[in-house]
Structure 1
Amino acid sequence: MAPSETQQKLEELHQTIGADLEKTRRELGEMETLLRQTTAEVEKLAQREMTVANRLRDLEVNLDKYSKADIKNFYTSAQEVQMRLLMMRGQLEQLQFRQQLLKGRQSQLFEIVSALEPVVGADMGSGPRGGSDEGTDLIAAIIQAQENERLRISLQMHDGPAQSMSNLVLRAEICQRLLDRDTEQTRGELVALKGAINTTLQDTRRFIFDLRPMILDDLGLVPTLRRYVQQFSEKNKIEVNLMVQNMDARLPSHYEVALFRFIQEALNNVARHASASQARVLLDQNNGSIHVSIEDDGTGFHVNEVLSEESGRRNLGIETLRQQVESLLRGEFGIESSVGRGTRVAGVVPVP
């Protein structure tokens, strides 16, 4: 085939794949809108289920106050809400799976378009366009990361403080009803209510700490890590050994935040996926570089298989760690793992 014909074919291929990429991006936008709507519906149903469950608990405590018809209606309503919630959660999981497939396809198409840009750009007179596409893709990735974080926070708020506070309201109502009937029982309920409030307060403080530790700004990275590791160990029943060397001086704020998030994300991955009983965190500064590593004694995995583009399995947790080290701190990221021998993730970043 003549060079001009080859160039024409490449240009046609570039246009076709570019159009497919734009179509995939539009589908992703529509999918994200549908996901937000479905997530909101799931949250409403979960709240309704919690309300119905509270009513059922009240019914079980005061059976003599309700007729058989009321009892039947309560249980029928509870069953309907649970079935609807189960169905919507299944639909949400399907949408999330479809979203991941679309993201994988978008990534593959973007790589092909980027590879063709240098070949077709020179002869098409349009100049390099990869930078624009890359910037758009980066903005989209940032927005998506923000949306994912907001979704995670909203779900944690619903499953944690919101549900706990709803239970506190119910217990307060029980105390109110008992006040004129049984003083001793009311006193016992108030003691239990006080304990529940204290537990909810501690859970809310841990939730706030996970979002943005205030002591990170006040005391710095190392004290924040010591406190976080202690809370992580207690919460997940994983023994974590933190070793810090040559980190006496404070780092710039964005460095401390990025390093803390790197360690936090790595430990979260250990808790979610590793089935580990022990982990070790190392933070060391020497020879003009900061070395950070997190390793565990968990199940491990085949690194090449998980990171392979051909497999379509993109480990978002690993990609997040890579971006934190390479993009935010201009460092080098590495990961080692094998089945049955645990996992080690590490980063080396220049001292600012």
Structure 2
Amino acid sequence: MSEQQSYPWPNASSTGVGSWPGDDPDEAVRTILGELPALPHLPELPERGVGADMVGRTAGLLVDLPVEVQPSGWRVADTPGRDLARATGFMSYDLDALTEHAHAFTGTLKIQVAGPWTLAASIELRNGQRLVSDPGACRDLAESHLEGVLAHIDRVRGGVPGARLLVQVDEPSLPAVLLGSLPTASGLSRLRPVDRVRAEDVLRNLFSGISGAGAVPAAHCCDPGAPLDLLRRSGAEALSLDALLLTRDHDEMVGTAVEAGTGLLLGVVPTTDATPAQTARMSDPAATVDPVRDLWNRLGITPDLLSRAVVTTPTCGLAGASPGHARAALTAARAGARVLRDEPRRQAS
């Protein structure tokens, strides 16, 4: 791979995965812009309740596919109702806050949406079965999702016209979809696995659409069984992963991705209030990024590429953390990114 490989973020960047504690979008956006100047993201605030959760937030973007909340979760509805109105309202508040505080921002800005397979695994059909069980419904969902995501990109770009958008597609349920480990509505059996070729085609169409809209597609999955090769082949230009879950079994897939020019957003900081041992580790930037440095050494890739190819992050969203820990996590991620930048100098000395 060329040493001049470019990535959609500045050298030694850090960012958050998405969610943030609290319920005030103005405060959250101000905090993220201040804590993550190199690569800020649009914060998600699920503490606000129904419609601010990961599934509801993206369900509010769907076009001509209304959903509502039932006791068992989100379900396809006949007409848009108050649950969908709450979801779209929350997103509007968030984008208004982003426009107010980041209108003049000219760097790379990350936004997040739930992926089509995670939505299909999380939303029920009217009969109570998961939408992923119906291939026709999955096709309709994928088309509606793509149209909604592209409209969302346009709206974000309208509020922050100078930003380059990095669109992170969250697919935490994708491994279960591919393995056939999702329970049926009765809980007595498991749904059939989705064919990997079909899953890849849907994601490729989505990532192609994001690229065609002038944004950079990325994929996030913090499951140890994340299908890295499938996500890369689908067109994700960056992979967001929990570095603490990566083992030698992942080395070949990660190495192939890096050699192909795929960027990595690697989680190195715990997402909830830390134990004393974790707190001590967070206060040591070098220890924080040891899993990344160990990975890089195993892959045998030049250290000069490390701080350009890798963005440091918390291991997942920070909604469950205290405000103090959430800020400390971003501070630790920033400090870790500087260590990766200085790694070639350390090895040369």
> Comparing both chains, which one has the higher relative contact order based on Cα–Cα distances under 8 Å and sequence gaps of 6 or more?
2
Higher Cα radius of gyration: 1
TM-score between both structures, scaled by the size of structure 2? 0.29
The structure where helix makes up a greater share of residues is 1
